Amino acid sequence: MPITSTASDTTSLVHAAIDVHEPGPAPGEVGAKLTTIEFQLNPKELTVAKSAKWESKNQKKSSTAPPATYQGPEPQKMSVEMYFDETRTRDGSVVKRVEALFQACTPTSKSTGKNQPSAPWVKFKWGVLTGFVGYIKSVSAKYTLFSPNGTPLRAVCTVALEELAKQPGKQNPTSGGLQPRNAHTVREGDSLAAIAYREYGNPAQWRSLAEVNGIDDPLRLRPGQVVLIPALDELSRADGREIARKEVARALLR
């Protein structure tokens, strides 16, 4: 069945919606539901994209394409348009609906209070399409109709969602691997210090992020590279384990 199809029988019509949740303890485990942003009209189309990351190193003497190494899957992406119309309501306005989408791109009060600011996690649901758990990456609103006093009555919002990174498997039952709370795709001009400041409010945590992600040279981040962002308490435990390992190594060298 095409993912854009809808039932023709109004008694079985299912409306698409985006559930907005507090960030959960791990990807796929959302926190408490904050609100639901409903589609007034089901989307006419829905774009879903998935890609894999490959890395190749140029070889000057090679006469063919260099070999590529698989680096893992990229987060799934989804794009959908939401149509809002308040022309049939007295003194209606679509501004509140649009602002609800914008609000889903800003940190929740609870996460800010814990000194772990994060935008909400969301679930897109529409019929059988209920397994997407991620976050709203961007919202673009276009107002298309206004009342005589300038009140927006219709709007089309383009919403881009991105899947949260899955929890990587541990190497063994005692490895104590971290559970990524989120993931950041590196853009041009990004640095680990800037990412650490945005995620934890402390740029000095760049060393911990480098350790967790196995980054040997933090000055050479590549656009498109994915940096896993553990919760702050787990990052602190990782720091403690690393300090303990170094202390043991120094003791053995004496």
Which of these ranges, 83-87, 90-94, 177-181, 236-240, has the smallest mean pLDDT?
177-181
- Residue with the bigger pLDDT between 162 and 254: it is 162
**Tens digits of residue pLDDT in 58-80:** 666 666 766 778 878 888 999 99
CATH topology of domain 180-253: Membrane-bound Lytic Murein Transglycosylase D; Chain A (3.10.350)
Q: How far apart are CA 57 and CA 55, in angstroms?
A: 7
Higher pLDDT, 129 or 148: 148
Q: How far apart are CA 158 and CA 37, in angstroms?
A: 14
| C-alpha–C-alpha distance, residues 13 and 6, integer Å | 7
Residues with Cβ < 8 Å from 199, sequence gap 6 or more?
116, 117, 182, 184, 205, 229
Query: How many C-alpha atoms does 88 have within 13 Å on its Cβ side?
Result: 3
Query: What's the rounded Cα separation, in Å, for the pair 14 and 41?
Result: 10
pLDDT at 177: 45
pLDDT at 4: 37
Lowest-confidence region among 2-6, 63-67, 95-99, 192-196: 2-6
Structure tokens given for 92 = 């209606």
What per-residue confidence (pLDDT) applies to 208? 83
68-73 vs 180-185, strand pairing mode: unpaired
What is the rounded CA–CA span in Å between residue 17 and residue 104?
14
Which residues neighbour 188 within 8 Å (Cβ) at sequence distance 6 or greater?
223
pLDDT of 119: 93
Q: How is the chain split into domains, by residue range?
A: 13-53+66-163, 180-253
C-beta of residue 22 within 8 angstroms of C-beta of residue 31: yes
Mean pLDDT of the chain: 78
Closest CA to 12 of 96, 111, 124, 127: 127
How high is the pLDDT of residue 235?
A: 66
The pLDDT assigned to 94 comes to 94
Greatest mean pLDDT among 62-71, 83-92, 197-206: 83-92
Q: Give the residue from 161, 164, 123, 199 showing the smallest Cα distance to 25.
A: 164
CATH of 13-53+66-163 among 3.30.2450, 2.40.30, 2.60.40, 2.40.70: 2.40.30
Closest CA to 185 of 26, 77, 27: 77
pLDDT at residue number 181: 54
Residues in the chain: 254
pTM (predicted TM-score)? 0.59
pLDDT digits (tens, 9 = 90+) for 105-132: 999 999 888 888 899 999 999 887 777 8
Strand partners, 157: 82, 141
Q: Given pLDDT bands bounded at 50, 70 and 90, which one contains residue 144? A: very high
Integer Cα distance of 140 and 163 in angstroms: 19
